[in-house]
Amino acid sequence: MTQLQAGETYEVSASRVRMGIGWDKDAGAGVARTGRPEVDLDATALQFTGSQLFDLAFYNNLTTRDGSVTHQGDNQTGSGEGDDESILVDLARVHAPVDTILFLVSSYQGQSLKWVANAYCRLVDDETDEELARFTLTLSIEETGAVLALLRRTPAGWALHAVGEGVAISVPTQGLAKLTRFVS
């Protein structure tokens, strides 16, 4: 398994991968500290052709039109061990014009990610269950969302790029202008 830092790249050799995303709530999060319910994060995979959105998979639209990306369901608490949400990607089925798949986590309720701890994303070979690469977010993100990583089509196949940058976004479809700088 390769441990990535922001800005680093991992060449993907598997054809079916799973992006596992995990987090814990900060010990002080919740109603007593913020006056709001527990932090509910949502994972999203957005497919781009250049800087144009092609399709997306998230809790309210589980599969892209080409069937290559499937969200595995919404976890509203982040409780428990392991991945809190995961997204399957069949790289061989991704529509040919799609050159980037952006992985985003956001708080639909508009809560700052500063109330989240131990956040990570990890790329897993879905056929062997082998963890290929992991990117752990170590910085405190004040915004309501974070671009975790990008899968980019290359002449040799696909490459995972670790990003880990905060964005003020709670609903992916309403914040597309904030995401295009990552795919341009």
CA distance 1 to 9: 13
- The alpha carbon torsion through 9, 135, 12, 183 (nearest 10 deg) reads -60
Tell me the residue range of the domain where 141 lies. Answer: 2-183
* Residue 31's pLDDT band (cuts 50, 70, 90): very low
CA distance 162 to 180: 16
- In the structure encoding, which two tokens stand for residue 114, read together? 């500063």
Pick 131 or 34 by higher pLDDT.
Answer: 131
**Whose CA is closest to 111, among 34, 12, 18, 27?**
34
Query: What's the average model confidence in pLDDT over 156-178?
Result: 90
Given a cut of 50, whether residue 148 has pLDDT beyond it is yes
Task: CATH number of the domain at 125, please.
Answer: 2.60.60.30
**Whose CA is closest to 126, among 51, 48, 20?**
20
Q: Give the containing element (helix H, strand E) for 179.
A: helix 176-183
Position 79 scores a pLDDT of: 54
Position 138 scores a pLDDT of: 64
Q: What is the pLDDT of residues 72-104, one digit of tens each?
A: 876 555 455 678 899 999 999 999 999 999 999
On whether the CB atoms of residues 126 and 132 are closer than 8 A, the answer is no
On whether the CB atoms of residues 128 and 151 are closer than 8 A, the answer is no
Query: What's the average model confidence in pLDDT over 100-115?
Result: 87
* Residue 113's pLDDT band (cuts 50, 70, 90): confident
